[in-house]
Structure 1
Amino acid sequence: MTFAEILGYVAAATVALSMMLKDPARLRALNGVGALLFVTYGLLIGSRPVVLLNAFIAIADFYYLRQILLARRAPAPP
C-alpha cells in the first residue's frame, strides 16, 4: 500500500467521523481537516477534480466554522 493510498483512507475516515458529530463547529473543523487531507491526496495522485472539490469544501467548512465561532462569542442581545 502506497503513502497516497494510506492518506486517502485516513482522509475518508476523517470525513466519515466528522459526519457522526453533533456539534456543528466540531463537524466543520474535522470535515475541513478531512477535505485538506483529500486535497493532499488529490495532489499526490494527480487528480484535479479531487483537489478542486475538496479545496472548495475546505474553504466552505472553515468559513462556516468561523461564522459559528464568531456567533458564539457575540454578546447576547438585551
Structure 2
Amino acid sequence: MNFTTTELIGYLASLVLMISFLMKNIIKLRIINSIGAILFIVYGFMLAISWPIIITNAFILCVNTYYLMKHYNQS
C-alpha cells in the first residue's frame, strides 16, 4: 500500500474525528474533535483547495473553540 501524504492526513483526520466521538467527557471530545477539524482543514488545502472541507471544518473548529472558551471562562 502506497499512500500519499495527502491521503495519510485525510485518514488521520478521520481517525481522530472518530476517536473524539468515543469520549464521554465533553471537554475531551471538543479538544480531540478540534484536532481532527484542524487536520481536515490541512487536508482540504492539500487537495488543491477543497472549500467544502475547509469551510465545514473551520466552522466546527470555531464552534468547539467557542464552547471550550465559554467553559474555561466560567470555571
The 5-angstrom pairing of residues 1-78 of structure 1 reads 1-45=3-47, 46-71=49-74, 73=75
Runs (4 or more) in structure 1 with deviation over 6 Å come to: none
Whole-angstrom distance in 2 between the partners of 1:70 and 1:21: 22
Report the secondary structure of 2:9's partner residue.
Answer: helix
How many angstroms does 1:68 deviate by? 1.8
Whole-angstrom distance in 1 between the partners of 2:69 and 2:28: 11
TM-score normalised by L of structure 2: 0.91
CA contact (8 A) 1:25 1:69 kept: no
Whole-angstrom distance in 1 between the partners of 2:31 and 2:70: 12
Larger radius of gyration: 1
Whole-angstrom distance in 1 between the partners of 2:53 and 2:38: 11
For structure 1, the residue ranges without an aligned partner over 5 or more in a row are: 74-78
Report the secondary structure of 1:20's partner residue.
Answer: coil
TM-score normalised by L of structure 1: 0.87
